[in-house]
């Protein structure tokens, strides 16, 4: 089971590392980071560097491919080299997945046309503009395409995938070993739940916020 | 507000990156990774490399210091150079914090003696052996020492800290922008909630599991 997590300049770190931590614990999984070139890739705030172990040229296939989001997705979704690689790997993948604005990159590659998918709550309109049917759900399965909402939702997506691929017991073991028993001190994690003035503030800033991470 | 996240060989990636993603969004925060030497640090499965921007020698103080867990904590808690650095930074820190078995490292440095703290559920006995009062809580504040339970709990700890430091509105904004509205497909994230046979299995493997990540 080969799991390829794509990196690109100005990705959001938790989008990639959340599902990495869960998926890579699947028995038999070989999980690696892949980017245009092997080597260091900088995150959206330029204060974290993750290494891509492999380059696009090194990877011709993967069972799971995952595209994180982040402000860099705006460039990634127009990068012909990146999109060609994504389409090539998608041709034989079992699951093609994204977190946050990673779904805009999948859409940019033409992989989500007419499908149901999700994204960061501030990017759902942009997803619709790309011919995708956006939903407000946290994790969306449409065939082999699995998309997650903003940043932290990749953890939930990974547990869903583990259950589908390896069974409930493996997924529950991973949840237990990572002690994923969320107890946030606030209930402000979605636009439906957060204080209305905070939602309005960020909606007002709109696309700028998604681009800023 | 200087936030230093320590790395050491065989750390668990999400322990560090979960709170990184939340804390670094605090207005005015400067968040960086620090290790014995600046440069690449390998995670517990040797399939992820994070860069430490600074070496211990580069950092003499921080407002928040965070120690992640991982199988490497067993060596880290006996590493005199690492422990000396931690004690020196702790002397002037506002908050000294840990995720997962990072609390064993804090205890190894003598910082938690007689205090209430938490750790990965499989490491609570080891914490007691170090003169600490272990609790089963997900996030524990005892004075300026803040410890979180296993792996994913660092995200919750970071939101608590954001609230204390920057106020509820900032913490809620960060929760909304990272869309932290957890919806795991199972309710198996703690030994009290997971199926008993899974808990028994991992308890049987005991310390091996914590060392294996």
ipTM: 0.96
pLDDT digits over A139-149, tens only?
Answer: 999 999 999 99
Architecture of domain A2-184: 3-Layer(aba) Sandwich (3.40)
pLDDT at res. B210? 62
Q: Kind of pairing, strands A64-67 and A95-99?
A: parallel
Six-digit token pair at B59?
């950092």
Query: What residues form DSSP beta bridges with A34?
Result: A6, A54
Mean pLDDT of B187-205: 95
- Which pLDDT does position A212 carry in this prediction? 52
Min Cα–Cα distance to chain A from B194, Å:
7
Q: Using a CB-CB distance cutoff of 8 angstroms, which residues of chain A are in contact with residue B24? A: 45, 47
Q: What is the DSSP string of B149-199?
A: -STTHHHHHHHHHHHHHH-HHHHHHHHHHTT-----SS--SSTTTS-HHHH
For residue A146, the tally of other CB atoms under 10 A from its CB is 24
Which residues of chain A neighbour B35 with C-beta distances below 8 Å?
A: none
Q: Does A202 touch chain B (CB under 8 A)?
A: yes
Res B136: pLDDT:
84
**Inter-chain CB proximity A184 and B156 less than 8 Å:** yes
What is the distance between the alpha carbons of residues B213 and B14, in angstroms, rounded to a whole number? 11
Q: Which of the following CATH numbers is that of domain B2-182: 3.40.50.1950, 3.40.50.880, 3.40.190.10, 3.20.20.70?
A: 3.40.50.880
Active site residue A168: no
Render pLDDT for A32-66 as a digit per residue (tens, 0 to 9): 999 999 999 999 999 999 999 999 999 999 999 99
pLDDT, position B73: 97
Judge whether B139 is closer than 8 Å to chain A, CB to CB.
Answer: yes
DSSP chain A: -EEEEE--TTB-HHHHHHHHHHHTTSTT-EEEEEESSSEEEEBTTSS-EEEESEEGGG-S--SEEEE--STTHHHHTT-HHHHHHHHHHHTT-SEEEEETTHHHHHHHTT-STT-EE---GGGHHHHHHTT-EE---SEEEETTEEEE-STTHHHHHHHHHHHHHH-HHHHHHHHHHTT-----SS--SSTTTS-HHHHHHHHHHTHHHHHH-
**Residue A133 bridge partners (DSSP):** A116
Residue B17 CA, distance from chain mean position: 10
Q: Of the residues A26, A100, A130, A155, which is catalytic?
A: A100
With beta carbons under 8 A apart, name residues in chain B contacting A172.
186, 188, 194-195, 198
CB contact under 8 A, A163 and B186: yes
Q: Bridge-partner residues for B117, per DSSP?
A: B134
- Asked if B46 reaches chain A (Cβ–Cβ under 8 Å), the answer is no
Give the separation between CA B5 and CA A126, rounded to whole angstroms: 35
Q: Which two tokens stand for residue A9?
A: 């300049």
Reduce the DSSP state of residue B4 to 3 states and report it: strand
Residue closest to B32 by CA, chosen among A10, A49, A47: A47
Sign of dihedral through CA atoms B89, B90, B92, B94?
Answer: positive
Closest-CA distance of chain A to residue B65, Å: 16
Best of B153, B177, B210 to substitute, by most chain A Cβ atoms within 10 angstroms, is: B177
Q: What is the pTM of this model?
A: 0.96
Interface test with B, best of A2, A150, A181, A195 (most B CBs within 10 A): A181
Inform me whether the C-beta atom of residue A199 falls under 8 Å from chain B C-beta atoms: yes
Chain-chain contact of B176 with A32 (C-beta, under 8 angstroms): no
Per-residue pLDDT at A179 exceeds 60? yes
Across the interface, of A24, A50, A155, the residue whose CB is closest to B152 is A155
């Amino acid at each position: 089971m080969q799991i390829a997590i794509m990196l690109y300049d100005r990705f959001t770190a938790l989008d990639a590392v959340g599902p990495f931590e869960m998926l890579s614990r699947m028995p038999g999984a070989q999980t690696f980071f892949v980017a245009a070139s092997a080597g260091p890739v900088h995150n959206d705030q330029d204060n974290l560097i993750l290494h891509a172990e492999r380059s696009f040229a090194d990877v011709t296939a993967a069972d799971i491919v995952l595209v994180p989001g982040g402000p860099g997705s705006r460039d990634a979704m127009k990068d012909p080299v990146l999109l060609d690689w994504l389409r090539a790997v998608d041709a034989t993948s079992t699951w093609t997945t994204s977190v946050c604005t990673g779904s805009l990159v999948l859409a940019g590659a033409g992989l989500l046309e007419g499908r149901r998918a999700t994204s960061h709550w501030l990017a759902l309109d942009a997803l619709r503009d790309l011919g995708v049917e956006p939903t407000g759900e946290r994790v969306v399965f449409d065939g082999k395409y699995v998309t997650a909402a903003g940043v932290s939702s990749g953890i939930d997506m990974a547990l869903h995938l583990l259950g589908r691929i390896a069974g409930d017991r493996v997924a529950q073991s991973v949840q237990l070993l990572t002690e994923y028993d969320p107890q946030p001190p606030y209930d402000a994690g979605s636009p439906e739940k957060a204080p209305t003035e905070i939602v309005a503030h960020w909606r007002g800033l709109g696309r700028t916020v998604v681009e800023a991470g």
